[in-house]
Amino acid sequence: MLPDIYGCNAFYRGYAAYLAEQGAGEVLLVDPFAPFGELATVTREAAFQRRHRLADRAYVKELIDFIGGQRIDGVVGFCIGGLFVFELARQQVVSRLVAYYPFPQGLENRDPLDVPFDYLPALRSRHTVIVGDDDALLGTQNLQRLQAQARANDAIDLHVMDGAGHGFLADLESPDTARAAVAKRGLRIGTTTLLGG
């Protein structure tokens, strides 16, 4: 499991426990930001500052070696972790891949990965992508482009959650029943991809 820019917080530890309860043999929560220490303050600004210390291409190379060494057969990534999932699909690293609210438009970095939009049309490794139609970080144009690429390439198993924004899985316990229902639907899709059933 690859978290967002906030790292391995309580949400991801809870999600790892959920996957284990659902029958995952072993769940490894991998923190790309561990070498840079904990966030002094849990703010978006602090998380982005720490995120920019990560060299994306070098990190994914290390991640691929780790996956091979551990014989991992499924990876789920969130936000920036979803960007890494696109690269794992491109390099055909594992057979079960899920990306929640990723960045097909790529992200700036001192050691950037290739922009997924540039290679998704030719990608043959099946992967599940789960996004919200109201994700401001993805944006309407990028969502439309992703939808067009998914229509043209059945390796992209795209699911668009109506009324959901970036990070919508955090709404699983929301008092807003509509938001909670969307989050639960997204959770089921990802769980089915990772564990079958």
Helix (H) or strand (E) holding 132: strand 127-132
Residue carrying the six token digits 């998380």 = 47
Are 86 and 127 in contact by the 8 Å Cβ rule? The answer is yes
Residue of 4, 127, 166, 171 marked catalytic? 166
Q: For the sheet containing 156-161, what is the strand order?
A: 74-78, 96-100, 127-132, 156-161
Which residues, listed in sequence order, are joined to residue 99 by a DSSP beta bridge? 77, 129
Number of Cα atoms under 13 Å in the Cβ half of residue 57 = 8
Decide if 8 is catalytic.
Answer: no
Decide if 79 is catalytic.
Answer: yes
Decide if 135 is catalytic.
Answer: yes
Residue of 79, 134, 159, 176 marked catalytic? 79
DSSP secondary structure letters along 97-130? EEEES--TT----SSPPPPHHHHGGG--S-EEEE
DSSP 57: H
Are 127 and 156 in contact by the 8 Å Cβ rule? The answer is yes
Residue carrying the six token digits 């997204």 = 186
Query: Which residues are part of the catalytic machinery?
Result: 79, 135, 166
